[in-house]
């Protein structure tokens, strides 16, 4: 069965960086894109970006451009989301999600809580 297992909770100081991982299993990793979505406490879902595992192409939401880098390691079937210059309003649960062939998000990770606090 398809599983996406994310890294654990992190606490960071403002200005720092964080790297969240998402390890995939149960399917051919190269065949499907991975999206990243975040959810601030008590708020809705916010789409951050997408990476094609096949060729490394990315689409990053405009508000995150310059602060977010999406990468994958096909040898370990793991996707990564790097977020730099952290601010307190980056405090959120970060989800990775595997796309279906046409782009909707079929499988989700369990979420990784990031707390940014001085």
Q: Decide if residue 105 touches another protein (CB under 8 A).
A: yes
- What is the nearest approach in angstroms of another protein to the Cβ of residue 74? 23
**Quick check: helix, strand or coil at residue 64?**
helix
Phi, psi dihedrals of residue 88, rounded to the nearest 5°: -60, -30
Find the binding residues for another protein in span 44-83 (CB under 8 A). Answer: 44-47, 50, 59, 61-62
66 closest CA partner among 78, 93, 48, 91: 48
Minimum CB separation of residue 95 from another protein in Å reads 6
Tokens matching residue 90: 């980056």
Site stretch for another protein (CB under 8 A), options 14-22, 23-31, 73-81, 106-114: 106-114
100 part of the interface to another protein, by CB under 8 A: yes
- What dihedral do alpha carbons 16, 8, 31, 26 form, nearest 10°? 170
> Strands 10-12 and 78-83, how do they pair?
unpaired
Q: Which range touches another protein (CB under 8 A), out of 8-16, 17-25, 82-90, 108-116?
A: 108-116
Q: Is 1 helix (H, G, I), strand (E, B) or coil?
A: coil
Interacting residues with another protein (CB under 8 A): 35, 37, 44-47, 50, 59, 61-62, 95, 97, 99-100, 102-106, 108-111
């Amino acid at each position: 069965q398809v599983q996406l297992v994310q890294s654990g909770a992190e606490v960071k100081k403002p200005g720092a960086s964080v790297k969240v991982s998402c390890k995939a299993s149960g399917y051919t990793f190269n065949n499907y894109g991975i999206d990243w979505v975040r959810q601030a406490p008590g708020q809705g879902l916010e789409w951050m970006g997408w990476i094609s595992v096949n060729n490394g192409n990315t689409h990053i939401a405009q508000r995150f451009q310059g602060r977010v880098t999406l990468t994958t390691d096909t040898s370990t079937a793991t996707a990564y989301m790097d977020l730099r210059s952290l601010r307190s309003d980056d405090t959120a649960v970060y989800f990775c999600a595997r796309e279906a062939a046409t782009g909707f998000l079929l499988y989700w990770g369990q979420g990784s809580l990031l707390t940014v606090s001085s």
